[in-house]
Amino acid sequence: LPISAHPPPKDAHMKNGYVISTDKSKLDIDAIHDYLCHRSYWGRGRTVETVRKSIANSLCFGIYSRSSQLAGFARVVSDFALFAYLMDLFILEAHRKRGLGKWLVESIIREPALKDIRFWRLDTMDAHGLYRKYGFQAPAFPERIMEMRRSPTRAVDTDG
């Protein structure tokens, strides 16, 4: 059903015919998996089961075009008190360069459930300039940050 057939949920935001929503029932899991598994630089080979589980356990944001097609996605892993990790953010190729990436990042950090979070993290290869617009910076104390990367047999992938 087109989005217009439903009353918009309270958390929906609209701009230029696009809608951002945190309603997981609207997410096109196959389109998200297809992008992450085949076209992203960080989620290559991620299985649909992993995508589904990561969505189930995250606060997810979908952007939808006028025709209700998925145009972009991101998810946030958070304790909703102190810390939030922004992951898997993308705008699908056909919808890029019209401000949707900026709108998505801005909507995420303004989301009521997250607006008081004081400590955000994310990984990015080349989109630092996008996130810098919203207050993200290179880590102040990189020497204090540790991580662990395990082989694919133990954890398919944990990036993004």
Ligand X SMILES: CC(C)(COP(=O)(O)OP(=O)(O)OC[C@H]1O[C@@H](n2cnc3c(N)ncnc32)[C@H](O)[C@@H]1OP(=O)(O)O)[C@@H](O)C(=O)NCCC(=O)NCCS
Binding-site ranges for ligand X (CB under 6 A) = 89-91, 96-102, 124, 126-127, 129-130
Nearer to ligand X, 7 or 95 (CB): 95
Angle at 137 between CA 148 and CA 121, to 5 degrees: 40
Q: Rounded distance, CA 40 to CA 92, Å? A: 10
Angle at 47 between CA 80 and CA 2, to 5 degrees: 70
Least distance to ligand X, CB of residue 158, Å = 14
Pair 2, 126: CB distance under 8 Å = no
Least distance to ligand X, CB of residue 66, Å = 16
Chain position whose Cβ is nearest to ligand X: 101
In the numeric block, which tokens belong to residue 58? 């995250």
Least distance to ligand X, CB of residue 54, Å = 15
55 C-beta neighbours (distance < 10 Å), count: 19
Nearer to ligand X, 5 or 138 (CB): 138
Nearer to ligand X, 32 or 100 (CB): 100
Least distance to ligand X, CB of residue 53, Å = 20
Type of residue at 105:
V
Nearer to ligand X, 132 or 150 (CB): 132
Looking only at the bridges linking them, the beta strands covering 70-78 and 83-91 are antiparallel
Q: Rounded distance, CA 118 to CA 36, Å? A: 28
**Which strand (E) or helix (H) includes residue 93?**
none
Nearer to ligand X, 76 or 100 (CB): 100
Least distance to ligand X, CB of residue 1, Å = 26
